[in-house]
């Protein structure tokens, strides 16, 4: 990964365990994902963004192509378990921020961000470059042996971890640009933004929406809708 790309990264501390447990419970961080460290802490030293290993250990099962690929990984590692891609190398774990960003998603924030990118080619190209830096960072978290395994397996092991951006989403070929400009999970883009001091234009949009209190607008609209349904029910 680029030197200094995760300038705020720090090792795990004993006190971080409760935050990790909370992330698994509240924001559904898969229990099979290994947390490598903390990519960003708040002013009190509490984890805001976790740094996660891009591979997770799972048991092979099923008869579909994905299961067959996992079985090949099992054979490669000589183990009863297999390594599946986990493209979310940066995971937003602050409970309050997760709640607020979730409101923005519910209110259509992801679609709004995508429209802004589609309307500005310069922004789209900046975002594409940022996604590629994320991919390089994620690929760089793997050991040489792990990268070799992924390249042998091919498919999602390479595409989701090496060739795609935040979240491992498929390349967006709308308009034939081939740019990595998919926007789906605002939590993932905001985590990238926080961990890299702003290297994600969607994350910057999220910050602007939070600063403007747009999440509170969504919450207010939800409350009003709930009250209306009670009256009409």
Round to whole Å and give the CA distance between 168 and 158. 10
With beta carbons less than 8 A apart as the criterion, state whether 170 and 156 touch: no
CA distances from 34 to 50, 58, 92, 200 (A): 10, 12, 15, 24
Does an H or E element contain 206, and which? helix 201-211
Residue 146 lies in a domain: yes
For residue 81, what pLDDT is reported? 66
Quote the pLDDT of residue 69: 59
- What is the SS3 assignment for 52? strand
Question: Does 137 map to a domain?
Answer: yes
186 domain residue, yes or no: yes
Tell whether the model's pLDDT for residue 3 goes beyond 80.
no
Residue 6, domain member (yes or no): no
Expressed in angstroms, the distance from the first to the final Cα of the chain is 56
Task: Tell me whether residue 4 is in a domain.
Answer: no
Write out pLDDT tens, residues 135-169. Answer: 999 999 999 999 999 999 999 999 999 999 999 98
CA dihedral 198, 202, 208, 210 (to 10 degrees): -100
List, for residues 18-61, the tens digit of each pLDDT value. Answer: 999 998 887 679 899 999 999 999 999 999 999 999 999 876 55
Residue at 150 is within a domain: yes
Note down the domain range covering 117: 14-227
How many structural domains does the chain have?
A: 1
* Stated pTM of the model: 0.87
pLDDT single digits (tens) 91-144: 999 999 999 999 999 999 999 999 999 999 999 999 999 999 999 999 999 999
What average pLDDT does the structure give for the chain?
Answer: 89
């Amino acid at each position: 990964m680029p030197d200094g790309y995760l300038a705020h990264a720090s090792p795990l501390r004993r006190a971080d365990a409760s935050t990790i447990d909370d992330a698994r419970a509240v924001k559904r961080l898969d229990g099979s994902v290994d947390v490598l460290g903390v990519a960003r802490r708040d002013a009190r030293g509490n984890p805001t963004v976790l740094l996660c290993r891009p591979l997770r250990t799972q048991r092979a099962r099923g008869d579909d192509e994905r299961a067959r690929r996992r079985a090949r990984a099992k054979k490669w590692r000589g183990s009863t378990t297999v390594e599946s891609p986990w493209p979310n190398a940066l995971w937003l774990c602050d409970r309050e921020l997760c709640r607020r960003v979730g409101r923005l998603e519910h209110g259509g924030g992801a679609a709004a961000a995508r429209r802004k990118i589609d309307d500005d080619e310069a922004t789209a190209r900046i975002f594409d470059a940022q996604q590629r830096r994320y991919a390089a960072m994620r690929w760089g978290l793997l050991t040489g042996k792990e990268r070799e395994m992924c390249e042998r397996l091919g498919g999602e092991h390479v595409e989701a971890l090496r060739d795609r951006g935040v979240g491992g989403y498929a390349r967006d070929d709308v308009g034939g640009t081939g740019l990595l400009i998919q926007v789906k999970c605002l939590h993932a883009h905001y985590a990238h933004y926080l961990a890299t001091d702003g290297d994600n234009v969607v994350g910057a949009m999220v910050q602007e929406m939070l600063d403007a209190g747009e999440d509170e607008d969504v919450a207010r609209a939800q409350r009003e809708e709930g009250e209306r349904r009670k009256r009409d029910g």
